Structure 1
Amino acid sequence: MRVLVAPNAFRGGPGARWVADALASGLAGAVDEVVAVPLSDGGDGALEVLEDLVGGHRVAVEAEDPLGAPVSAEYLVADDGTAFVETARASGLTLVADRPRRPLAATTRGTGQLIAHAVAHGATRVVVTAGGTASVDLGAGALAALGVRFLDEAGQPVAAGPGDLVRVRSADTGPAVDLLRDVRIEVLSDVFTPLGRNVDRFGAQKGVTASDAVVIRAALDAVATALGDRDGTLADTRLLGAGGGLVAGLHAVFDAPVRHGGEFFASLAGLADRIDRADLVLTAEGRVDHGSWDGKVTGLVAGMAVARGKPVVVVAGEVSLPDHDLPAGVRCVELGLRPPLPGQAETAERRHALARAARSALDLGAVSNAS
């Protein structure tokens, strides 16, 4: 029996490489072959997976976290010179996990600082993986760090937090466009969600209250209009809601092409061919819910496996869907562990739990084959 292990990172938990190794350890001696392929959808942990797939070296930069505190964040320079910027490294929700949520103040400024540093050091192609942000600012923070000036009705500068962005009436994008004139910016979106549905779908995890949501929606409308969107295209287009709208902002100002992150990583990893050669496909993520089928690695891997007639099992820290809500042909194994505390994700207990789950997946895969 040949098993393909193709997990995502667990948000706030272990990385995809560590999860893949732990799952594979549970299959040792029980199957003929295990192929481990850590994956990403463009959210937390993307940089580690990219490092495995494209090589290169990391560059550390002092940047601002979502609430303006200093943070040391890294981006990756691949062997071909492409700079890969993982938004979650400087603007991620996990960076403020131990502080009160402040969604009206949180921005993506740190991500813009990483992009600016890469460009200043010679990058002519920058790929931004946009998932996992703590903010819903339409990328205003990142754009401001790259030189965009947001102005109020009197022509005075406006800060990049959503609480201030409601006053935006125009935007001077010239300095940013000049800065990146010879640079190709590309964006990877970890969800299919359009900008107009971002607050409804992801607001709660970022601490957005009902009253905050009213302000944030007004801010998004104001910034989108200032960036030239007069007909609601930014709000309605799939993929542009990722990263709290960072994808939409980069697309609007730099005409950055947008791709689905999971498909990008799957192509790099040769996932389709690997699934074809497998007898059982095992994937994993921290939490399985309805959002798992909205562009996440779990949904992508499962969909590709089912389409090829392969049994697929998802291992998750938590499963919040009943079996009858899972797509046909997909089964789940829940770890039964509490989410890890910061810095305590990669423990022996979690590794053993993942190994046990992998062995359980073998039984579920056998049942699927039999049926």
Structure 2
Amino acid sequence: MRIVIAPDSFGQTLTAPEAARSIADGLGLGADSVRLPMSDGGPGFIDVLRGSIASARAIDVPTTGPHGEAVTGTVLLDGAGRGFVESAQAAGLQATERRDPLWASSYGVGTLMLAAVEAGARTVVVGLGGSATNDGGAGLLAALGVVAYDAAGVAVPVGALPLLGVDHLAGTAAMRTARVVAATDVDNPLCGPDGASAVFGPQKGASPDDVRLLDAALAHWGAVLERDRPVSAPIVTAPGAGAAGGMGAALLSLRAVRRSGFEVVSEAVGLGDAVADASLVITGEGSFDEQSVRGKVVSGVARLAQEQGVPCVVVAGRVSLGRRQAAAYGIDRSYSLVEHAGEQRAMHEAADVLREVSEQIARDWLR
């Protein structure tokens, strides 16, 4: 059998390459496997592309994390004039120990975008996902030169809560003639019950009261964006505007083209051709749930497998999506690390547990 192993990262426990290696080790049996670590634009976006684009040149860029921490991000440049930026490197949950979306800022992401432009990128592809921020990309825009002011003409502080006091925007984004591509991992709008605050705020540390404040702040921010940064289509309700704490909306205000982060990566690694030649496809992520089927890696891999008539199984830290619902997306079976070994081992010995579960997959599918 020829097996394609194409997992995303497992939260903060395993990178996508580490997960792919553990799955391959667990399969054993001399199986002919192709490891293609994946990303949907969130954490690991740069690492996966760096290992797949032969012409890539990496530039390390000092920048700031969500609460001003000194962090280093990587801008990846290919031979076609594209610069790739991973928002999670500067605004991700892994970039800070503090969980406070009321005050977290995306400023560091704008710094990475500027570095890509300075390095000669004619198109800047920004991978969105895994953020600790909820500031609607206000920090990102400020780093580029588009600054938010209050009614007195004073620059508004960074963070999400101060967005309630924004009166207007001024300045021009220092993007030269570079195009922007928003590589989104989700299709959520900016505000409302499916928006950035309600859906993703709690995992960033927001209480129910915080979520209401954050949603009101983004609603006000969205109205200012649409008035002062007019584009041809609505920003607030656009699919993907709520990605990465609303950074999607800020990029759309720069006339960004929205693309599936999964598609950007799958094209770079040649996933489609690999799946067409496969007998079995294995994918995975940290939590296999309702969000998994809204543009994330697992659903993208399963769709490709379904189109080719190839069985697809998912292995995840935690599985909460029902078998029938998963089957509707082309997933034949799912395996849970937590169910196999308990929460503590699944979290602290993830590589070993993933290997063990992959041994079970081998027994089930490679007979």
**Superposed pair shares fold, TM > 0.5:** yes
8 Å CA contact 2:223–2:236 kept in 1: the answer is: no
- SS where residue 267 of structure 1 aligns? helix
Hey, what's the Cα distance between the residues in 1 that align with 2:198 and 2:215?
10
Q: Does 1:106 align with 2:104?
A: yes
Offset from partner CA, 1:77-110 (integer Å, 9 cap, x none): 22444221100001101222x33x2111011111
8 Å CA contact 2:27–2:361 kept in 1: the answer is: no
Shift of 1:293: 0.6
Amino acid at match of 2:282: L
Unaligned runs of 5+ in 2: none
Q: Which residue of 2 aligns with 1:210?
A: 208
- SS where residue 195 of structure 1 aligns? coil
8 Å CA contact 1:188–1:259 kept in 2: the answer is: yes
Hey, what's the Cα distance between the residues in 1 that align with 2:279 and 2:119?
46
- SS where residue 76 of structure 1 aligns? strand
Aligned-pair identity in percent equals 36
Change in 2 beyond 3 A, CA 1:340/1:42? farther
Regions of 4+ moved over 4 Å = 229-232, 337-341
8 Å CA contact 2:150–2:165 kept in 1: the answer is: yes
Change in 2 beyond 3 A, CA 1:339/1:163? farther
Q: Does 1:219 align with 2:241?
A: no
Q: How many residue pairs were aligned?
A: 356
Q: Which residue of 1 aligns with 2:172?
A: 175
Offset from partner CA, 1:248-279 (integer Å, 9 cap, x none): 11111x20111011122122222222212111
8 Å CA contact 2:87–2:131 kept in 1: the answer is: yes
Mapping for residues 1-371 of structure 1, pairs under 5 Å: 1-31=1-31, 33-55=32-54, 56-96=56-96, 98-99=97-98, 101-172=99-170, 174-176=171-173, 179-196=174-191, 197-229=195-227, 233-252=234-253, 254-328=254-328, 329-336=331-338, 349-365=349-365
Report which stretch shifted further, 284-293 or 356-365: 356-365
Offset from partner CA, 1:229-261 (integer Å, 9 cap, x none): 589932322122111111111111x20111011
Hey, what's the Cα distance between the residues in 2 that align with 1:6 and 1:146?
35
Amino acid at match of 2:169: A
Hey, what's the Cα distance between the residues in 1 that align with 2:25 and 2:189?
39
8 Å CA contact 1:21–1:36 kept in 2: the answer is: yes
Q: What's the TM-score once normalised by structure 2's chain length?
A: 0.90
- SS where residue 4 of structure 1 aligns? strand
8 Å CA contact 2:316–2:335 kept in 1: the answer is: yes
Hey, what's the Cα distance between the residues in 2 that align with 1:116 and 1:338?
44
8 Å CA contact 1:169–1:223 kept in 2: the answer is: no
- SS where residue 54 of structure 1 aligns? coil
Shift of 1:340: 8.5
Amino acid at match of 1:139: G
Hey, what's the Cα distance between the residues in 2 that align with 1:50 and 1:181?
25
Report which stretch shifted further, 135-144 or 69-78: 69-78
Amino acid at match of 2:236: A
- SS where residue 166 of structure 1 aligns? helix
